[in-house]
Amino acid sequence: EKGGYRHFMAKEIAEQPIVLGDALSHYLRGEGIEMPEPGLDFTEFDRMVMVACGTANYACVVAKYWFESLAGISVEVDIASEFRYREPPIPPRTLALFVSQSGETADTLAALRYCEGKAARVASVVNVTESSIARESDLVLPIRAGAEIGVASTKAFTCQLTVLFLLALKAAHDRGRLDAEELEARIAALRQVPGLMNIAMASSDEIAAVAKSVSEARDVLFLGRGAMFPLAMEGALKLKEISYIHAEGYASGELKHGPIALVDKTVPVIVMAPSDHLFDKTVSNMQEVMARGGKVLLITDAKGARAAGDGCWKTILMPEVDPLLAPILYALPAQLLAYHAAIAKGTDVDQPRNLAKSVTVE
């Protein structure tokens, strides 16, 4: 059932172009974006609250950048275990959106129950559609990733992002911020992602080689800006979950506010940065790291690699992608890096110590 792969995680990483394509064709059957019944009209909401745990929470943080920049709607993101006990006010014109692969995470379910009767609508983005979270939602958006067995979430994350991006486009369209032509152009860019992922998969051997050195580190930093910041946190989570290496994800601009104190020649600093309008700022952050002897592993496109100049320890090239969509594509090298670091360390990739696939107790 591993389909010839050594681990479920490897299979699930490799499956992403196919399952992403499947999720897309499910939501893009006719003209525009098809919503399951009873549908959502974003003119009914003034704000959104998105709640989840772990990797699903990082998908929400990426989506916050999309909803805010494309649809102009304020989004609050919280981890479920904090949200549920905080007694946060939920104004009536709020869309409450819960993201969960399993649909059974106890804290996320409790957060959903807290919002029932307070929020205008309670919607969920789930993989398992016969789950408690799906059952208790007004509207369910399936991610269609297929069964995910590896404890480290991979394809569910990129499918969550894909569905959330479509939802952000719908929100932007409903709210008059994206006309039909722009919507079509955004959808066309999204449709390219599975193909770009296939191209990116070709870097697997190169990533395996660099992951071998990363596996010898005690601490690893991941840096990203904008929607790549939550991806940096996801990259760090993946690495710590399966290789047990201490890793942290930071917003690049936060580096000098503390974490740079950790940098020396033993600390790999993984910078995930497509060439976008903020790339220059990321280059100066990398220079700060290099000036302290830090080893920068830059994951970028050809243009970014040229702009970064010399001095990086290693560069992994990704195909060029719409910067808004980069978190989906760049999830792949982050997953591969964690996977190969775990292989190098000989840890149990699919069943990491102390972790369960579905956390049904708080």
Which residues does the annotation mark as catalytic?
Answer: 357
Taking the complex as a whole, the smallest distance from the CB of residue 126 to ligand M6R amounts, in Å, to: 8
Taking the complex as a whole, the smallest distance from the CB of residue 359 to ligand M6R amounts, in Å, to: 5
Return the number of the residue (79 or 318) whose C-beta is nearest ligand M6R.
79
Q: Which amino acid is at 303?
A: K
By three-state DSSP, how is residue 54 classified?
helix
Return the number of the residue (117 or 361) whose C-beta is nearest ligand M6R.
361
- Cα 57 to Cα 77: distance, rounded to the nearest angstrom: 8
Return the number of the residue (226 or 235) whose C-beta is nearest ligand M6R.
235
State residue 48 phi and psi, 5-degree precision.
-130, 150
Q: Please say whether the beta carbons of 98 and 52 come within 8 A.
A: yes
Full DSSP string of 202-244: GGHHHHHHHHHHHTT-SEEEEEE-TTHHHHHHHHHHHHHHHH-
Residues that bind ligand M6R (CB under 6 A): 53-56, 100-102, 105, 108, 151-153, 241, 355, 358-359
Query: Quick one: CA dihedral 167, 173, 177, 178, positive or negative?
Result: positive
Q: Please say whether the beta carbons of 308 and 315 come within 8 A.
A: yes
Residue among 353, 341, 331 nearest 13 (CA):
331
Return the number of the residue (171 or 338) whose C-beta is nearest ligand M6R.
338
Q: Spell 329-362 as b/e; 16+ CB within 10 A means b.
A: bbbbbbbbbbbbbbbbbebebbebeeeeeebeee
Q: Which residues contact 195 (CB under 8 A, 6 or more apart)?
A: 17
Angle at 223 between CA 70 and CA 19, to 5 degrees: 55
Return the number of the residue (152 or 336) whose C-beta is nearest ligand M6R.
152
Nearest residue to ligand M6R, by Cβ distance, number only: 54
Taking the complex as a whole, the smallest distance from the CB of residue 213 to ligand M6R amounts, in Å, to: 23
